[in-house]
Structure 1
Amino acid sequence: MPSSTRTVFSLIIINKAGGLIYQREYQAGLRSLSTNDYLVLAGTFHGPPPALTSPGGSAPVGFSYPNPGVPASGLEHLETEKFRLTCFQTLTGTKFLLFTDPMTGNVDTIMNKIYELYADYVMKNPFYQLEMPVRCEAFDRHLGAWLRGRT
């Protein structure tokens, strides 16, 4: 399989409040975005929390994000001739947006590995504050090395 079919262009991580907490580009190929563009993109994927209904199924009684009793909904994949965007939402509401070449196979495997590295190097880091920007050199280093090793 040619390496161009395995290209990961970029990764964005959005916290449960809709804030951009991580963004890295790994390959050229997509138009460069400004910081403001990334913030708009993060806000677009955040969206409002799902409304809960009362036991009789009538009017909404409140909001819950995420709602463990309801399957995740929303955009999971967006594909164009230039890129494929895959969105993975964790049970805690954190969203991972992965931009890849449209021909990239095993995107779920890639996303699972990214989440594993995030859990190992960010969430287990005693200095990381939840919902704050990810500034973890070990995560950057291991993720970059793993992605480079795939091509």
Structure 2
Amino acid sequence: MRFTHPGYKIASLVAALFVVAACSSTPESAPTGGSTGAASAYAPGSQEDLAANAGDSVFFDLDQYNLKPEGQSTLQAQAAWLAKYPAVTLTIEGHCDERGTREYNLALGERRANAARAYLISLGVDANRLQVISYGKDRPFAVGSDEGAWAQNRRGFSRVN
């Protein structure tokens, strides 16, 4: 018996594409070029390099802009990373969760970004290499209206310019 329904042809084509795609991709964790570290997988001084080797986000408690010890550790790693790449500049983005007014969250996001910037400067990073911007609650990282999503959205994010 021969199947000639158009749906079978489309389903077969989609299945074949998945098989080809699965066979041709390289897992992200696979080492490349005989390297032993994640650093070589990314262009030196890139956003991906920063994220992999220093971290690009610090997190804050509800309605707070003081740096927690984990955030300080991340910023210390960022300062060391920036020392390796003196031509790199960062924009530190301040973000908030969805609760509160837009105006309140823009101001809180700015205080968060400035707290991270001030800490980096205290570690010896040239102030001219650091800009700040607040997005408040306008650019959430995690979608959702629960504590898990809110905690991910209360952050300072360092973006390589």
Fold shared by both chains (TM-score > 0.5): no
When Rg is computed on C-alpha atoms for both structures, the one with the higher figure is 2
For normalisation by structure 1, the TM-score amounts to 0.24
Higher strand share: 1
Higher helix share: 2
